[in-house]
Chain A
Amino acid sequence: MDVTSIGWLTLPLAILGGAIRVSTPFIFVSIGELITEKSGRINLGLEGTLMLGAMAGYGVSYLSGSPWLGVLAAGLAGTAFGLVHGLLCSVKRVNDTAIGISLIVLGTGLAFFFGKPLIEPKAPALPSISLGFWSSVPQVRAASDVNALFFVGILLAFAVYVFLNRTGWGLMLRTVGDSEDAARALGFPVLRVRILATMAGGFLAGIGGSFLSLSYPGSWSEGLSSGQGIMAVALVIFARWRSINALGASLLFGGAGALGPALQGVGVTGYYYLFNAAPYILTLAIMVASTSRAAPFADAPGELKLHR
């Protein structure tokens, strides 16, 4: 069969395949951010964590030869960054938003600095699982080559749902994020819970970062993230702080991100940069649509300082 035989289906297929690929880091970062925000803190620094994770993951994969070790290293780097954020914000009168912004700068800076020697070499990439074996159409095969981390992300969304709703620790996390007074009255270690939640968020964001550099074709460059860590914050708001929603929202953002390349792939080359801006436009539109003065973030964790 040749390319033309599937005709107009090429475009949705390319978008679907792209959506799965682009959404994977979104799933990890947004669920990480969700866990942090559920504890009552916002970590804007995940953009920096993402870059750091991408660099660390690529570096360790290159040095050790195992991409999965790279993923772990990325997660640990993210955890360390989460710990820094968590500790700094535990100091009285320190503002979590400001710390987050400074960590974006620090994280990208560190990643660029240590990543300089990694631009040339080729590190082993994460395996893909080919779900397109039944088809002989190359577009179908290309779209169905799904990275293993994507499936981990889906499992993660459900695991976090169960954690938040069906475990004692999950309820404790929500208590701390929703009402500090209540948490203190119950004797919960508020600061410790928040620090741990920020570390967990950093761990997941680091893994999301490793996907950027270790998924097919796999390379490290300084333009890898392009703001996905920041968009994840909007994504969490759009998902109303629910992990299953975050999974869907990530796919939507991924689809928007895949729009530009997909159109280019079928030969539409005009307005390339405009289509590439789709995820950012989507972010803006969602923020406008999902906020209102009359009902500011009704589902938001009570201690989150988004709307004060």
Chain B
Amino acid sequence: MTAPQVELLNMTKRFGANLALNNVSLLIRSGTVHALLGENGAGKSTLVKCLVGFYHPENGHIQVNGREHRLNSPKDADALGIGMVYQHFTLVPSMTVAQNLVVSGARLPAYINWQSELKRLTEVTKKLPFHVPLDVRVSQLSAGEKQKAEIVKQLYLGRKLLILDEPTSVLTPAEADEVLGYVRSLTRAGELSAVLISHKFHEVRRYADDVTVLRRGASVRTGAVADLSDDALAEAMIGEPVSKMVQHAPKSPPKPNIVLSIKDLCVNGDNGLPAVKDLSLAVREGEIAGIAGVSGNGQLELVEAMMGQRDRNGTITVSGSSFNGTRKEIARLGVYGLPQEPLKNACIDRMSLAENLALRNFDRAPLCRGIAMNYGALAVQAERLVAQFRVKAPGLTASMNALSGGNVQRAVLARELTQDVRLLIASNPTFGLDFVACEETYRRIVEARNGGAAVLLISEDLDELLGLVDRVLVMSAGRIVHEVLADCADKRVIGKYMAGMKAA
């Protein structure tokens, strides 16, 4: 079988009252890369999950090479040679790459002779352009290696239509080029067709032949990439003409006093191994320092250690006094944060919006009188913050669950940034947010900086980082390996450091 042509016709899928896909059609031509572009929640994942048999659409047909097929389970998709590389990898972490390959085969072997099995797998994977160690546990691979292992798995299984779900979010620019470049060469050779889910225009432009833009479950634009301008794509994506991306506020030179100072920090990861190694850094008043790096290089552990959520060795001082993340210190030193996935990490999802807005100051007047809460004052504060940050919610007493991702973020911004912020720690603050909420987050971060706060921004999105920060630090394997002023930053050089290469 060579590269198939796959067509989805009039796909409709509901989740309860929510229309996730509304009559979407999509044609993936044989031997091409078809990009699916859209904001979070636009229906990209739902659409491809129908294509791999995970979801069953209420309406619609799927045709492969002109013949109609019903896909009731991932097994049916397997049989047609359709495979997906998920964003959250579906390799089993505690098994080796070889075990993962064997377990994913169409037929489970009864008894496995690992010696001959390994020999066979080595033969198969030798032909691929990238090397993946077979006898290493997946949990010990870097995110980039996992991505490659996923693709190796798909090719090993003989898949002919490959679906890649935001593949580059965990890769360095060079790795992204290696992986997507290889997929593209395979499609060019007519051995494969591919679907690339993305929200990055330059990626779509570089690797895709055709593009379909989804918005709110509907296909709003489709065509050859070459025929569509970036502006046209962006407009289709958000449904209105685009205002310019983050306007860089004129940079004022940072003041000399250091707000955050970290010295010789060592932190262990969940697996008990060192994740942050002898890390030192300083952030000054009125500057945004950004930490770039591929996910899984110690950023999460660094943030958790700073916030007092994780044991650590080394010193962290804020404005000269030692900081351990106690509630008293947070209030006195003005340390606030924008964590990634705010609903999970910055909110209590079953408490109301008003209560969540009060998490920072419910234990101080006027929100409490002695040991009793003053619910009147709580409501007044919530009303003020909701108006000021334009949080859209069913009501102040609605539970946090009921808010959309963008509005959860606005609520968190309202709570954190209306305090007396002297140090802001933002960790992938826009992960999974829609366009408008991203813009708003960027604007508020820059405002906090301009108000004199020191900002430490940790982001896996290099474009986002370079657009915001005054100084870039690159983190790799638990250390800061490179530091450069944003004005002099070169993306390729940073990418090399992200990949752990010494010489640039």
Contacts and interface: CB of A to CB of B under 8 A. Distances in A.
A289 interface: no
B271 A171 contact: no
Nearest to A301: B94
B123 to A, nearest CB: 20
Contact of B95 (A166, A175, A294, A299): A175
Chain B: interface size category: 20 to 34
Interface centre among B92, B107, B111, B272 (most CB of A within 10 A): B92
A217 interface: no
A174 B73 CA distance: 21
B114 A166 contact: yes
A178 B110 contact: no
Contacts of A294: 268, 270, 272, 310-311
Given A168-B112, A185-B74, A187-B78, A178 B93 contact: yes
B52 to A, nearest CB: 8
A181 B103 CA distance: 14
Contacts, number: 81
Interface in B56-82: 73-75, 78
Interface string B79-103: 0000010101011111100010011
A168 B93 contact: no
A266 to B, nearest CB: 42
B370 interface: no
A185 B108 contact: no
Given A168-B109, A295-B271, A298-B272, 7 more contacts: A168-B103, A168-B108, A171-B108, A178-B94, A179-B90, A182-B92, A184-B54
A191 to B, nearest CB: 14
Nearest to A293: B311
A172 B270 contact: no
B122 interface: no
B361 interface: no
B155 to A, nearest CB: 16
B210 to A, nearest CB: 26
Contacts of B52: 185
Interface string B142-185: 00000000000000000000000000000000000000000000
10 contacts: A166-B112, A166-B114, A168-B108, A168-B110, A182-B91, A185-B54, A186-B90, A186-B103, A295-B268, A298-B271
Interface of B: 52, 54, 73-75, 78, 84, 86, 88, 90-95, 99, 102-104, 107-114, 268, 270-272, 310-311
Nearest to B99: A171
Contacts of A302: 92-94
A169 interface: yes
Contacts of A171: 95, 99, 102-103, 108, 112
A65 interface: no
A175 B103 contact: yes
Given A167-B111, A178-B95, A302-B94, A185 B103 contact: no
Contacts of A178: 92-95
A185 B112 contact: no
Interface of A: 166-169, 171-172, 174-175, 178-179, 181-182, 184-187, 292-296, 298-299, 301-302
A184 B88 CA distance: 13
A298 B93 CA distance: 11
Contacts of A185: 52, 54, 74, 84, 86, 90
Contact of B270 (A167, A182, A298): A298
A241 to B, nearest CB: 9
Nearest to B53: A187
A181 B86 CA distance: 10
Contact of B94 (A186, A295, A299): A299
B108 A172 contact: yes
Contacts of B112: 166-168, 171
Nearest to A170: B112
Nearest to B104: A186
B102 A168 contact: yes
A54 B104 CA distance: 41
Contact of A179 (B74, B75, B92): B92
B108 A187 contact: no
Contacts of A298: 270-272
Contact of A175 (B74, B84, B92, B114): B92
Given A185-B74, A187-B73, A298-B270, A166 B111 contact: yes
A302 B91 CA distance: 12
Contacts of B113: 166
Contacts of A181: 86, 88, 90
Contacts of A293: 311
Nearest to B73: A187
Nearest to B312: A294
B91 to A, nearest CB: 6
A210 B110 CA distance: 31
A167 B95 contact: no
Contacts of B272: 292, 294-295, 298
Nearest to A171: B103
A272 B244 CA distance: 81
Contacts of B102: 168, 171
List the 9 shortest-distance A-B pairs measured between CB atoms, nearest first: A168-B108, A295-B272, A182-B90, A187-B75, A171-B103, A187-B74, A185-B90, A168-B109, A178-B92
A18 B99 CA distance: 40
Interface centre among A178, A182, A293, A301 (most CB of B within 10 A): A182
